[in-house]
Amino acid sequence: MIEKEKNEQGFIYAYLEWLLVNDEGQISKNGEFCWVNDLWIHKDYRRNGVLRSLINKLCEHAPPTARYGYWTREKYNGRKSICRKFNIYTRRKLWNGLKDSKKNGDSIQ
C-alpha cells in the first residue's frame, strides 16, 4: 500500500510504500510485520511531523494481524542504519484511545 501527504495545491510532498510480511520476510496477508519498502519526503517538508503522520496512516490502514513496522535508512558514505522499529499495536491503541476520548468530550493533557 502507499500512504501519501498532499499540500493545499494537491501536490504530493511525501509518500510511504509498505508491504505486509511474515516473520520470514515473505509477503503475507496475515503477516505480523509491515515492511516500509520506500519512503520519500520533499526537502521543504522535512522535520515537520510528516514521518509521524505517514506512520500513523500506516497504523490506521494496517490489518489487525500487523504488530510491528520496520525500515532501513541510508546514511552517509553508502552505509545503512539498522532497521528502525515501531509498534503498530501500541500506536493503534493510543490512536483509538484519542478518538474515543474526543467522542466523549474528554481532554487529553
Quick one: CA dihedral 40, 42, 46, 51, positive or negative?
A: negative
- Count of beta carbons in the 10 Å neighbourhood of residue 18: 25
Quick one: CA dihedral 80, 81, 83, 89, positive or negative?
A: negative
Summarised one tens digit per residue, pLDDT across range 59-102 is 888 888 888 888 776 666 666 554 556 777 666 666 565 555 44
Cell of 28: 503475507
The region, left, alpha or beta by phi > 0 then psi within -120 to 50, assigned to residue 65 is alpha
Summarised one tens digit per residue, pLDDT across range 5-52 is 999 999 999 999 999 998 888 999 888 888 888 889 999 998 888 988
Task: Fold for 2-103, please state it.
Answer: Aminopeptidase (3.40.630)
Task: Provide the pLDDT for residue 94.
Answer: 61
